[in-house]
Structure formats: structure tokens, C-alpha cells
Chains A and B, each alone.
Chain A
Amino acid sequence: MSVQQNYRTGATLAGYNFAFLDEQTKRMLRRAILKAVAIPGYQVPFGSREMPLPYGWGTGGMQVTAAVIGSKDVLKVIDQGADDTTNAVSIRRFFVRMTNVATTEKTRAATLIQTRHRVPEIPLSEGQILVYQVPIPEPLRWLEPRETETRKMHALSEYGVMHVKLYEDIAQHGHISTAYDYPVVVNGRYLMRCSPIPKFDTPKLNMNPALQLFGAGREKRIYAVPPYTEVKPLDFEDHPFEVERWPESCALCGAGDSFLDEVILDDKGSRMFVCSDTDYCGERREAGHTGRMSAPYKAEAAE
């Protein structure tokens, strides 16, 4: 009731429960998460709630985060690998308002990381939780729009249609033309969609020491990859899985092993490539690495 009173008087947000959701809803979410962990890669339907952010903007990830976050957690939120993109800022602010937990931009310092579209470059460790925001959880959706059909296909492990799709890519283009959202098989059983991460990040899911949770709010599904679980990209013996490479390295830190964003600098088409993972790039520059266009490193004020 205090919630309503607060709302009507427009007073503080103190009337909201810790992490916004009520405890019964969190319990429902935790049950779904436990089931997801017990059946790696299986999409668990759950009673997704309306969140105060729009569907498609991370409501699934936010519900998962809200269900697992505790007052001692240190939260990091990234979007496109960066902590300072607008939606990451917005979600981080939401959790600060609703939980007052500590936040960080350091991958190593975080206990809980919510991400959209990237897996951090710095390897995760045991005890960390990575929460992915997922728009479309069903890996077979573009091949079969009906949920009733795709659930049947998962039940029967009937994934031939995806192999055919990849084969057709090779027949037409000479190689598999899936750049992100690359289909993987988890623990030798379920075909899974890695939220839309570039295939560059796909190998990071395999045998990862951290717990990886996936939340799709609008589609009302949660799934998980428990620590040290095999995650295998679909491929063929003569066409093994490959990740994308850039002819350049990061213009700021010189990294040649990270996912690079292309930044267009002027209307003549000149461009630079920089690390998409801002924390990784910052850590390298701090350690003295330089790139083609880097100014001397200057520590930016911590948030």
C-alpha cells in the first residue's frame, strides 16, 4: 500500500521494493532461473512483468538481474560493449535507484554484469553472473515462425532445418553468412540463441567459469548456460566455425584481439577502429598500450 501512497503523493521511490519487483515475483523468477540452470539451453516460459522500461529495451535482462541482485553485489551494465551508451546508463541508473548497490565499469570488479549484444573481452571468473538481454530467444524463429512448431522441434532435437540453412549459405556464398546470433548447441542437447552477440563472442560462452543467464521479457522466456558448460557453434567438418577479423587494430590501445567498432570520422569516408569494450580498451591504455591515433592516457573520472 505504501507503493500506492507514494505514487499518488509523488514522494520518494522508497515505497518500491528492493530491485523494484515484489518478492513473490522474484521467487517466480528464481524458480524459472533454477529450472533454466538445471536444463542448460532450454527456454523456460515465465510470467514476465511489465517493467518501467519498454519491451525490447532489456526488460528480460532487468527482471533476471532484479531476481538475482543482492545488496552486496557490484553491478556493471554494458550495451554494445560500452558502459556509457545511453541505454546502459539508463538501466544502471534504474538499479541504483531501486537497490542502491555499488556499480562499476570494471569487468574484473563486477559480481553481476548485465549486457546487450556483447560478452566482455576480459575473461569472466567463477562467481560472476553475466545477464544477457534477449530480444528473440528462439534460434529457429526465422526458419519457423510458429512457437507451437519450434517447441516440438526442440522436444525432438529436430535441428536439421538449421543445418540445412547453414549448408545453403555455404552452397550460395562459399561460407556461412551468419555474422551475429550464431546458433549453438548447449551441453550437447538444446539449440540456443546467444542473444544477438557477434559470432566473435560466441566461443567465449564455451566452458565459461561464470554463470550466464538469458532473459527475454517480451517473449517471456529465461534460459541459462551454467558455469563450465559446453557451448558448441554449429558447423561442418569441412567448413569449421570461424570468427570475424579486422585488418586493423584498435586506434586507441592497439589491441589486435578485440571486437572493433568502426567510427566514421568525416564525410570523406576516413574511419578509425576502436575497441567496442570500453573497459578493456581503458585497461590497456592504462597499462601503457597505445594505438595509431591515441593521445597519452588520461584517467577519466570514475562514475
Chain B
Amino acid sequence: MYVAVKGGEAAIGNAHQLLAEDRRGNPDVPELSVAQIREQMSYGVDRVMTEGSVYDPDLAALALKQARGDQVEAIFLLRAYRTTLPRLAVTRPIDTAAMQVSRRISSCFKDMPGGQLLGPTFDYTHRLLDFALEAEGAVPQAEGKGSLSDSLPQVVDLLNAEGLIERELPDAEDAPVGDLTREPLMFPAGRDVRLQNLARADEGYLLALGYSTQRGYAKSHPFVGEIRSGAVAVEIDIPELGFAVDIGDITVTECQMINQFKGSKTEAPKFTRGYGLAFGFAERKAMAMSLVDRALRAEELGEDITAPAQDAEFVLYHADNVEASGFVQHLKLPHHVDFQAELTLVRTMRAEIATAQAESEAELAEAAQ
């Protein structure tokens, strides 16, 4: 008779079992292994690592398997695991100039010192479904694997020689770097914190915001100074040894966007920069990030803040898909107490209006007699 939500415990247990069964799909089809996901769904793995803030392709592949391919759910799984990990050390800044590049392009110059390398890219493929892939078993072999030197100057640095682009000087070695996973986002947010927020931000959100800057909402005349993807060494300082030790390589994609700057009262016109960095091969993300990073520098560069992409509070508070997904979906939770309070209020207000109307009608009727 009393039908309110009862037996939550049993319902949750059943739902979890159903989920597990559904996740596996048809048992006649062989199960996906984590290694298969890691090797063959690698761009999906890269995104989960980037937004999950952990460089671990195995864990990211496991998260994707558990999440049935749902990226945001997989990112959430990885983040929730990340918070339980101890922090053993802080690495030295990675040196992307010393990257072993598998891809390097610039849209600003026809050629540049060190050369360009297209690498494994979807660019210039015709997006025709390849039905040959349905027949499994082929092991494609690439013949023309190019390679570039191990030390390639950044294209943006080449512009430095003429003073045409703003200089980006590194902070002092011992300067503190913000960390959003330890401290809350506060405003005004420094560029370190903004970039961390954007690196963890939802790719689709950044893509839309970056796109909006190209359509006139905070136009910044962007050019791809350089995009490079490849392996970089990660080093940590060992105080006992007194020098840095290489602990392994990670693959990253970096985008240096060059933007026009009209100049101000005190500064001559020159080019400015937007920066994007992501784990793995995540070019779309890195490019969108660099557009939004540049837009968020409006205040620092003395530009008018007129568009959403320039509004740091708006951009940074809504960028995290784990936060956004949770809060949007919490609307599924029962809200019947608040709803009941609203219901009571609306009924009271409607009753008051009905009474007032009846009274005024009665008065009119009296006056008419």
C-alpha cells in the first residue's frame, strides 16, 4: 500500500548485477582484453588519461572496459582511483624541445629548421568507412616511417630572434606551482592553474569554446605555430643523489598557437601565444586548449572581456566533466522533499489568487445589482 522508495538495498544490488551482465554483452562474442583496448582504442585511452590526470595506459584501458566505452565514466573511474594514490615526487618540467617526435607540423612556415613530419594522422584521409576492416587479421606495415632529429627548436622561438612574439620566461625553479587536485580553484587564477584546469577539461567543452573564438566571440586570429607529438623523458630530482633521474617516457601532444596582438599604449604590436598540452595523441584537445588559453589571457593583455571564452570564472568553473556530469545527473536523485515544499507553496499561492478573484467577482456582481 505504501509505495515510497523501499528496499533500496536490494534494488541497488540487482542493478549492479544487471550492469555487469550487460557490460559483457553477448557471451558468444569473445571478451575484450585490457591489452586490446590499450593497443587498438589508443586515442580513447589517451583521452581518459588526459582528463583523468593519470598517465597509465593500462589503468585507462581498464577504466574504458569497465565503463563500457563511456569516456566520461572512464575518466571518473580513473580520477577516483587517482585520489587514493600517494604523491611520491614532483617531476622536473618536461622538455618538449627534446621530444622524439612522431609528428611535427607548422602552418606558419612552408619549411622550418628540423623539417615537418606528418606522422600517423587522420588528416588527409578520406573519411570512407573501410569495410575491409570487418575482415580481421590484416597487420598493416608502414614503409615510409620518417624521423626527425632528437632536438628540434620550437617554431615560436624562431620568431623570438626578431622580437616578433612575446617571450615566455620560465618561472624561478623554486616558484610554487598551483595544483587543483590539492587546492580549490580561487580567483584570480594564475596561468599555471588555468592551464591545469584546461588540461583536465572536457574535450568537447574546450572544442566548442575554442570554436567560438574562431567565430568572432573573442577573435584572436590564431595560427598553428607548431604541433608536435611524441615521447618525452620524465625526470625527478633525487635529493640524496643531487641530480635528476630519468624515470621513463610519456607520449604527449603539444600545440603552440600564435595569435595576433594589436598592441597597447605601452607595447608595440606583436604575436602572442596560446598553449595546449595533452597526454598521448590528442591533437584536437591540445589545439582547442591553446585557443581557450589565449582567450583567457585577455585581462593580462589588456583586451576587452566580451565573450564567454574570455571569462575565466565561466570557463574554469564549468570545464570539468566529472563535476559537470555528477551535478547534472544528481537530478536523478529523489528531490521529493524540496518538491513537496514547492508544491505546498504553489498551492497556497494559487488558492490566494482564486480567493481574490472570487471576492472581486462578488463585488462586481453586487455593484451591478
Interface residues of A, Cβ cutoff 8 Å to B: 1, 3-4, 7, 16-17, 20, 22, 25, 45-52, 54-57, 59, 79-82, 84-90, 93, 116-118, 135, 145-148, 173-174, 177, 179-181, 196-200, 218, 220-221, 244, 246, 252, 259-263, 265, 272, 274, 276, 293, 295, 303
Flag if B345 contacts A89 (CB, 8 Å).
no
Flag if B8 contacts A84 (CB, 8 Å).
yes
- Chain B residues near A295 (CB, 8 Å)? 1
B124 at the interface (CB under 8 A from A): no
What are 19 A-B residue pairs whose CB atoms fall within 8 Å in the complex?
A3-B85, A45-B186, A47-B182, A48-B184, A52-B80, A55-B323, A57-B326, A57-B330, A80-B335, A85-B8, A86-B12, A146-B313, A147-B313, A198-B340, A244-B345, A261-B336, A262-B343, A276-B337, A303-B9
Given the known interface contacts A51-B80, A118-B337, A198-B341, the answer about A56 and B8 at a Cβ–Cβ threshold of 8 Å is no
B32 at the interface (CB under 8 A from A): no
Closest residue on chain A to residue B5 by CB atoms: A85
Q: How far does the alpha carbon of A174 sit from the alpha carbon of B353 in the complex, in Å?
A: 10
B122 at the interface (CB under 8 A from A): no
- Chain A residues near B333 (CB, 8 Å)? 57, 79, 86-87, 116
Flag if A179 contacts B345 (CB, 8 Å).
yes
* In the complex, number of A-B residue pairs with CB atoms less than 8 Å apart: 157
- Chain A residues near B186 (CB, 8 Å)? 45
Across the interface, B337 reaches (CB within 8 A) one of A48, A93, A180, namely: A180
Flag if B181 contacts A47 (CB, 8 Å).
yes
Please encode chain B, from 178 to 216, with 1 for each CB lying within 8 Å of some chain A CB and 0 for all others. Answer: 000111111110000000000000000000000000000
Flag if B342 contacts A148 (CB, 8 Å).
no
- Chain B residues near A81 (CB, 8 Å)? 337
**B side interface size, CB within 8 A:** 53
- Expressed in whole angstroms, the minimum distance between the Cβ of A217 and any Cβ of chain B is 9
B74 at the interface (CB under 8 A from A): no
Q: How far does the alpha carbon of A33 sit from the alpha carbon of B106 in the complex, in Å?
A: 51
Flag if A220 contacts B184 (CB, 8 Å).
yes
Give 5 nearest A-B pairs by CB, closest first. A56-B330, A55-B326, A54-B326, A220-B184, A179-B341
B310-359 interface with A by 8 A CB criterion: 313, 317, 322-323, 325-330, 333-338, 340-345, 348-349, 352
- Chain A residues near B185 (CB, 8 Å)? 220
Closest residue on chain B to residue A173 by CB atoms: B349
- Chain B residues near A46 (CB, 8 Å)? 184
Flag if A3 contacts B84 (CB, 8 Å).
yes
How would you classify the secondary structure of chain B's contact residues: helix, strand, loop or mixed? helix
- Chain A residues near B11 (CB, 8 Å)? 86
Q: How far does the alpha carbon of A147 sit from the alpha carbon of B335 in the complex, in Å?
A: 26
Flag if B12 contacts A90 (CB, 8 Å).
yes
Q: How far does the alpha carbon of A245 sit from the alpha carbon of B210 in the complex, in Å?
A: 51
Q: How far does the alpha carbon of A89 sit from the alpha carbon of B334 in the complex, in Å?
A: 13
Q: How far does the alpha carbon of A262 sit from the alpha carbon of B4 in the complex, in Å?
A: 10
Please encode chain B, from 56 to 67, with 1 for each CB lying within 8 Å of some chain A CB and 0 for all others. Answer: 000000000000
B109 at the interface (CB under 8 A from A): no
Given the known interface contacts A86-B12, A198-B341, the answer about A218 and B4 at a Cβ–Cβ threshold of 8 Å is no
List 16 extra interface pairs beyond A50-B80, A56-B328, A180-B338, CB under 8 A: A3-B84, A7-B81, A25-B83, A45-B186, A47-B181, A56-B329, A82-B4, A84-B5, A86-B5, A89-B9, A116-B333, A135-B327, A198-B337, A199-B341, A261-B336, A276-B336
- Chain A residues near B328 (CB, 8 Å)? 56
- Chain A residues near B182 (CB, 8 Å)? 47
B145 at the interface (CB under 8 A from A): no
- Chain A residues near B322 (CB, 8 Å)? 50, 54-55
- Chain A residues near B344 (CB, 8 Å)? 179, 244, 246
B76 at the interface (CB under 8 A from A): yes
Q: How far does the alpha carbon of A196 sit from the alpha carbon of B348 in the complex, in Å?
A: 20
- Chain B residues near A88 (CB, 8 Å)? 8
Closest residue on chain B to residue A251 by CB atoms: B2
- Expressed in whole angstroms, the minimum distance between the Cβ of A44 and any Cβ of chain B is 10
Given the known interface contacts A89-B8, A147-B313, the answer about A244 and B83 at a Cβ–Cβ threshold of 8 Å is no
Flag if A179 contacts B338 (CB, 8 Å).
yes
- Expressed in whole angstroms, the minimum distance between the Cβ of B80 and any Cβ of chain A is 4
Flag if B329 contacts A54 (CB, 8 Å).
yes
Closest residue on chain A to residue B333 by CB atoms: A87
- Chain A residues near B1 (CB, 8 Å)? 293, 295
- Chain A residues near B86 (CB, 8 Å)? 1, 22
B79 at the interface (CB under 8 A from A): yes
Q: How far does the alpha carbon of A293 sit from the alpha carbon of B84 in the complex, in Å?
A: 49
B7 at the interface (CB under 8 A from A): yes
- Expressed in whole angstroms, the minimum distance between the Cβ of A126 and any Cβ of chain B is 26
- Expressed in whole angstroms, the minimum distance between the Cβ of A25 and any Cβ of chain B is 8
Given the known interface contacts A47-B182, A47-B183, A84-B8, the answer about A55 and B338 at a Cβ–Cβ threshold of 8 Å is no
Flag if B337 contacts A259 (CB, 8 Å).
yes
Closest residue on chain A to residue B329 by CB atoms: A54
Q: How far does the alpha carbon of A22 sit from the alpha carbon of B83 in the complex, in Å?
A: 9
Q: How far does the alpha carbon of A180 sit from the alpha carbon of B83 in the complex, in Å?
A: 34
- Chain A residues near B80 (CB, 8 Å)? 50-52
Q: How far does the alpha carbon of A59 sit from the alpha carbon of B6 in the complex, in Å?
A: 23
- Chain B residues near A54 (CB, 8 Å)? 76, 322, 325-326, 329-330
Flag if A82 contacts B5 (CB, 8 Å).
yes
- Chain A residues near B334 (CB, 8 Å)? 79-80, 85-87
Q: How far does the alpha carbon of A48 sit from the alpha carbon of B2 in the complex, in Å?
A: 39
Q: How far does the alpha carbon of A118 sit from the alpha carbon of B9 in the complex, in Å?
A: 21
Given the known interface contacts A54-B326, A118-B337, A198-B341, the answer about A263 and B84 at a Cβ–Cβ threshold of 8 Å is no
